[in-house]
Amino acid sequence: MKNAEREASFSEHKVLHPVHLLIACLEEKTGALGEISLRNNLNKTSLSNLAGNINGKTQSEFFSITVTKEVVQICESAFNYMKRYNQVYVNEGHLLKALLTDSSIKYNLSEEDKNTILTLGTTSRDMIAHFGRYTFPSINSQTIRKANKYDEIMLGNFVEEHFSKEWSHTIRTGFQKEEPSIYIALDLNEEIIGFAAFDVYLNKKGYFGPMGVVKNRRIKGIGYALLHHCLRDMKEIGYEYAIIGGAGPIEFYEKACRAVVIPSI
């Protein structure tokens, strides 16, 4: 968002336009955005020219400079995507999907470029974390424990209720092991509020996930703690890497364990 403001400061009207947000996204060099910047033929100068027409301008709490009304609409749209996917942070995927609804952008990008942006920037991606010299953080383990065979029904029902039948089936298969590679987080009433697993999806080795925390308990470090309990076990088993399958909140894993997006072929 700061980079978008910088782009707007170079424009004729000094007003932040949707295309400035797109340019800022394309200038990111890491994660899914970095791959998008390498896989498209968009020209920054040509994009900048799309910021010429201003139908109305206003202020936004998210920016320190004047913005167009379209920018406000895009921010609202990105928040709606976040809520639709039951998430608590707006990420690059929400923003990109919202940007492609803007007429000045939608009608000036080729179908190939739009498909590239949608495919690479708005879908879940596999990531990889290298244990190498990774230093595990100190985490609060008081409310987290390893699952046992008596947790199968309760945890399976919890996952199906709060996430999906597919995840519930995956977790239930994990209980076929003598010692399930599953951790659960509990509240003060011993009710499950989160879970994480590894080596349970199709019995793939070195594969982390699924993981989930109930929505009203997110951003409290529970997912971070669950993740590191699993990663520590994986390293102790002897894995050099952890594959994080279908990571929706890419930015969470980038920050939590320095995971990187596996490039699409």
Interior angle at CA 90, CA 215 and CA 104, nearest 5? 145
Residue 265: its pLDDT value, please?
Answer: 64
Phi–psi pair at 186, nearest 5 degrees? -120, 150
Task: Select from 123, 142, 166 the last residue of a domain.
Answer: 123
- Shared domain check, 133 and 119: no
Q: Are residues 240 and 171 in the same domain?
A: yes
Do 211 and 119 share a structural domain? no
- Given this model, what pLDDT does residue 251 score? 83
| 123, 143, 172 - which closes a domain | 123
Which residue range(s) make up the domain with 209?
A: 128-261
In total, how many domains does the chain have? 2
- Whether residue 132 is found in the same domain as residue 257: yes
* pLDDT confidence of residue 85: 84
Question: Global pTM?
Answer: 0.78
Instruction: Name residues whose C-beta falls within 8 Å of residue 74's C-beta, 6 or more positions apart in sequence.
Output: 18, 21, 95, 98, 99, 101, 102
**What pLDDT is attached to residue 218?**
86
Question: Residue 200: which CATH number?
Answer: 3.40.630.30
Pair (115, 22) in one structural domain: yes
Boundary of a domain, candidates 123, 138, 171: 123
Name the pairing type of β-strands 241-247 and 207-213: parallel
pLDDT at position 43, please?
86
pLDDT of residue 32: 81
Per-residue confidence (pLDDT) for residue 229, from 0 to 100: 96
Show pLDDT as tens, one digit a residue, over the chain (265 residues): 999 999 999 988 899 999 999 999 999 888 788 888 888 888 888 898 888 777 789 999 999 999 999 999 999 999 999 999 888 889 899 999 999 999 989 999 999 999 999 988 888 889 999 998 888 888 877 789 999 999 999 999 999 999 999 999 999 999 999 899 999 999 989 999 999 999 999 989 999 999 999 988 887 899 999 999 999 999 999 999 999 998 877 888 988 999 999 987 6
Nearest-CA neighbor of 36 among 115, 154, 98, 89? 115
The domain that holds 117 is classified in CATH as 1.10.1780.10
